[in-house]
Amino acid sequence: DTALLLARTRQLDGSRVAEWELPAEAVTVGRARELATGRLAAWGLEELSFATELVVSELVTNAVRYGGGPLRLRLIRDRTLLCEVADTGHTSPHLRHSAEDDEGGRGLFIVAQLVQRWGTRYTPAGKTIWTEQAFPPAEFG
Protein backbone atom coordinates (compact mmCIF):
# COMPACT_ATOMS: atom_id res chain seq x y z
CA ASP A 1 0.00 0.00 0.00
CA THR A 2 2.75 2.46 0.91
CA ALA A 3 4.72 1.98 -2.31
CA LEU A 4 1.55 2.34 -4.38
CA LEU A 5 0.57 5.50 -2.51
CA LEU A 6 4.00 7.06 -3.01
CA ALA A 7 4.00 6.18 -6.71
CA ARG A 8 0.52 7.65 -7.20
CA THR A 9 1.44 10.84 -5.33
CA ARG A 10 4.47 11.48 -7.54
CA GLN A 11 2.28 11.28 -10.65
CA LEU A 12 -0.26 13.87 -9.46
CA ASP A 13 -0.04 17.49 -10.46
CA GLY A 14 0.25 20.10 -7.74
CA SER A 15 -3.41 21.07 -7.91
CA ARG A 16 -4.35 17.69 -6.42
CA VAL A 17 -2.00 17.86 -3.43
CA ALA A 18 -2.18 20.31 -0.53
CA GLU A 19 0.51 20.28 2.14
CA TRP A 20 1.15 22.41 5.21
CA GLU A 21 3.85 22.36 7.89
CA LEU A 22 2.43 23.27 11.29
CA PRO A 23 3.83 23.72 14.80
CA ALA A 24 3.07 21.06 17.42
CA GLU A 25 0.87 23.36 19.50
CA ALA A 26 -2.74 23.07 20.70
CA VAL A 27 -3.85 26.03 18.53
CA THR A 28 -2.67 24.10 15.47
CA VAL A 29 -5.70 21.79 15.63
CA GLY A 30 -8.18 24.54 14.72
CA ARG A 31 -5.88 25.93 12.05
CA ALA A 32 -5.49 22.47 10.50
CA ARG A 33 -9.28 22.06 10.33
CA GLU A 34 -9.60 25.47 8.62
CA LEU A 35 -6.92 24.61 6.07
CA ALA A 36 -8.48 21.25 5.25
CA THR A 37 -12.00 22.66 4.95
CA GLY A 38 -10.78 25.47 2.72
CA ARG A 39 -8.98 23.06 0.42
CA LEU A 40 -12.00 20.75 0.18
CA ALA A 41 -14.14 23.75 -0.79
CA ALA A 42 -11.60 24.74 -3.46
CA TRP A 43 -11.75 21.19 -4.81
CA GLY A 44 -15.57 21.17 -4.75
CA LEU A 45 -15.64 18.43 -2.11
CA GLU A 46 -17.72 20.18 0.55
CA GLU A 47 -19.66 16.95 1.18
CA LEU A 48 -16.53 15.47 2.75
CA SER A 49 -15.92 18.46 5.03
CA PHE A 50 -17.63 17.16 8.18
CA ALA A 51 -15.88 13.79 8.23
CA THR A 52 -12.56 15.29 7.14
CA GLU A 53 -12.70 17.96 9.85
CA LEU A 54 -13.15 15.23 12.47
CA VAL A 55 -10.36 13.12 10.99
CA VAL A 56 -7.95 16.06 10.80
CA SER A 57 -8.88 17.20 14.30
CA GLU A 58 -8.25 13.78 15.85
CA LEU A 59 -5.03 13.04 13.96
CA VAL A 60 -3.52 16.48 14.56
CA THR A 61 -4.55 16.39 18.24
CA ASN A 62 -2.81 13.03 18.64
CA ALA A 63 0.28 14.30 16.80
CA VAL A 64 0.48 17.36 19.08
CA ARG A 65 -0.13 15.28 22.20
CA TYR A 66 2.03 12.24 21.48
CA GLY A 67 4.21 12.89 18.45
CA GLY A 68 6.15 16.10 18.44
CA GLY A 69 6.71 18.62 15.74
CA PRO A 70 6.79 20.19 13.41
CA LEU A 71 3.75 18.43 11.97
CA ARG A 72 2.84 17.99 8.32
CA LEU A 73 -0.77 17.85 7.13
CA ARG A 74 -1.29 16.67 3.58
CA LEU A 75 -4.48 16.16 1.55
CA ILE A 76 -4.30 14.28 -1.73
CA ARG A 77 -7.16 14.25 -4.21
CA ASP A 78 -6.68 11.11 -6.28
CA ARG A 79 -9.13 8.24 -6.77
CA THR A 80 -10.00 8.80 -3.12
CA LEU A 81 -9.29 11.57 -0.64
CA LEU A 82 -6.13 10.80 1.29
CA CYS A 83 -5.36 12.64 4.50
CA GLU A 84 -1.94 12.34 6.12
CA VAL A 85 -0.60 13.74 9.36
CA ALA A 86 3.13 13.29 9.95
CA ASP A 87 5.01 13.96 13.18
CA THR A 88 8.42 13.21 14.65
CA GLY A 89 7.22 10.55 17.10
CA HIS A 90 7.71 6.82 16.72
CA THR A 91 4.93 5.55 19.00
CA SER A 92 2.40 3.26 17.37
CA PRO A 93 -1.21 4.42 17.35
CA HIS A 94 -3.80 1.88 18.44
CA LEU A 95 -7.54 1.63 18.80
CA ARG A 96 -8.66 1.76 22.40
CA HIS A 97 -11.86 0.44 23.83
CA SER A 98 -12.68 3.12 26.38
CA ALA A 99 -14.86 2.59 29.41
CA GLU A 100 -18.16 4.45 29.51
CA ASP A 101 -16.86 7.00 31.99
CA ASP A 102 -13.52 7.65 30.21
CA GLU A 103 -13.28 11.24 29.00
CA GLY A 104 -10.91 10.48 26.14
CA GLY A 105 -9.36 7.71 24.12
CA ARG A 106 -12.02 7.38 21.44
CA GLY A 107 -10.45 9.53 18.72
CA LEU A 108 -8.80 6.87 16.59
CA PHE A 109 -11.86 4.64 16.94
CA ILE A 110 -14.01 7.49 15.58
CA VAL A 111 -11.55 8.06 12.73
CA ALA A 112 -11.69 4.36 11.82
CA GLN A 113 -15.49 4.59 11.55
CA LEU A 114 -15.36 7.62 9.22
CA VAL A 115 -12.83 6.36 6.67
CA GLN A 116 -12.49 3.38 4.34
CA ARG A 117 -8.95 2.57 5.44
CA TRP A 118 -6.26 3.98 7.67
CA GLY A 119 -2.74 3.05 8.59
CA THR A 120 0.72 4.13 9.67
CA ARG A 121 3.98 4.59 7.74
CA TYR A 122 7.25 4.85 9.62
CA THR A 123 10.30 6.77 8.46
CA PRO A 124 13.61 7.63 10.13
CA ALA A 125 12.13 11.08 10.88
CA GLY A 126 8.94 9.80 12.55
CA LYS A 127 5.60 8.47 11.43
CA THR A 128 2.69 9.34 9.16
CA ILE A 129 -0.88 8.37 9.96
CA TRP A 130 -2.95 8.21 6.77
CA THR A 131 -6.64 7.80 6.02
CA GLU A 132 -8.56 7.18 2.85
CA GLN A 133 -12.12 8.36 2.14
CA ALA A 134 -14.26 7.62 -0.90
CA PHE A 135 -15.69 10.51 -2.88
CA PRO A 136 -19.45 10.91 -3.04
CA PRO A 137 -20.55 9.18 -6.30
CA ALA A 138 -21.22 12.44 -8.20
CA GLU A 139 -17.87 13.95 -7.12
CA PHE A 140 -15.51 11.30 -8.53
CA GLY A 141 -12.91 12.68 -10.89
Domain boundary assignment for the chain: 2-127
pTM over 0.75: yes
Cis peptide before 23 (omega within 30 of 0): no
| Predicted local distance difference test score (pLDDT) of residue 107 | 74
Q: Quick check: 18 and 41 in contact, CB under 8 A?
A: no
Q: How many CA atoms lie within 13 A of 20 on its CB side?
A: 18
pLDDT tens-place string over residues 40-73: 999 999 999 999 999 999 999 999 988 888 999 9
Spelled out in words, what is the top-level CATH class assigned to the domain 2-127? alpha beta
Vertex 21, ends 17 and 14: CA angle to 5°?
20
